[in-house]
């Protein structure tokens, strides 16, 4: 796959808590229009890196840029203008339980635009249609399945037509069939709209189905130990840690 222009640049980022680094001096790029996955074992820093990339956490050092603009942490409820360029689907879906699906999807529209109620209602209906939830506008999250909740959260993440969608464990808690349907939806949005996708995941089935390029983080190295096309890494990597990860095998000590 030909690379486009880098839309995200992570430059020598160190992340952690207090003075304890989880990842040190991590650098990589995400290219426009690709589906990119961040992989690694438990405790390797995937979610922490995700938080830094989306402005939810400040790195210990280093910088993240989106379209050349530095990502600033969202401190004290401040609003980062870059948020209009990204949408985030959290592992839990993070829908507001007391709001209908339509009201949930409308939240970022109300926060970041001055659209009138009629236009907002039309836009919300369109986003729910795109994720196969037309007709569920008045349902509460508790009244629909887990897979439908994930799709509603995806509609909310897409509400402002962001250039980049971030996914934190999108398939978590879903059965294999529902997970595969969500993968198909993510792939369809990527191909139809050219939206750049960044996923943090441990679901290798999803990685092989839709990820075009990945990085693999390692807890001991505190850095990236592999980068590339997932099938190529599984079949051709000379690093036993990499092939073990993709083949789900354990090397003998």
Q: Where do runs of H (alpha helix) occur along the chain? A: 46-53, 101-112, 117-130, 146-157, 176-193, 204-210, 230-236, 240-247
2 pLDDT higher than 80: no
Q: What is the C-alpha separation between 111 and 84, in angstroms, rounded?
A: 10
Closest CA to 163 of 92, 93, 84: 84
Q: What is the C-alpha separation between 88 and 241, in angstroms, rounded?
A: 30
Per-residue pLDDT, averaged over 205-226, amounts to 95
> pTM for this one?
0.88
Q: How many CA atoms lie within 13 A of 237 on its CB side?
A: 21
pLDDT score, position 143: 95
Per-residue pLDDT, averaged over 40-60, amounts to 91
pLDDT score, position 14: 97
Close Cβ partners of 195 (under 8 Å, ≥ 6 residues apart): 33, 162, 163, 164, 165, 189
pLDDT score, position 42: 86
pLDDT tens digits, 81-121: 777 789 988 876 688 989 999 999 999 899 888 999 999 99
């Amino acid at each position: 796959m030909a690379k486009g222009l880098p839309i995200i640049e992570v430059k020598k980022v160190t992340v952690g808590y207090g003075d304890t680094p989880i990842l040190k001096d991590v650098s990589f790029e995400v290219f426009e229009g690709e589906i990119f996955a961040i992989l690694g074992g438990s405790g390797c820093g995937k979610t922490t890196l995700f938080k830094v990339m989306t402005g939810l956490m400040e790195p210990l050092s280093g910088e993240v840029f989106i379209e050349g603009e530095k990502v600033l942490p969202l401190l004290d409820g401040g609003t980062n203008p870059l948020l209009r360029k990204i949408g985030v689907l959290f592992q839990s879906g993070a829908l507001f339980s007391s709001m209908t699906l339509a009201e949930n999807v409308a939240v970022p529209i109300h926060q970041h635009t001055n659209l009138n109620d009629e236009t907002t209602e039309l836009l919300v209906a369109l986003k729910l249609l795109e994720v196969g939830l037309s007709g569920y506008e008045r349902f509460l999250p508790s009244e629909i399945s887990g897979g439908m909740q994930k799709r509603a959260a995806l509609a909310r993440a897409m509400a402002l037509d962001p250039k980049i969608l971030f996914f934190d464990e999108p398939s978590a808690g879903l059965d294999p069939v529902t997970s595969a349907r969500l993968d198909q939806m993510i792939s369809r949005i990527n191909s139809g709209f050219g939206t750049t996708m960044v996923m943090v995941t441990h679901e290798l089935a999803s990685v092989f189905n839709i990820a075009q390029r990945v990085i693999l983080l390692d807890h001991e190295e505190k850095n990236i130990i592999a980068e590339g096309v997932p099938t190529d890494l599984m079949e051709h990597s000379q690093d036993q840690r990499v092939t073990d990860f993709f083949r789900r095998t354990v090397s003998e000590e």
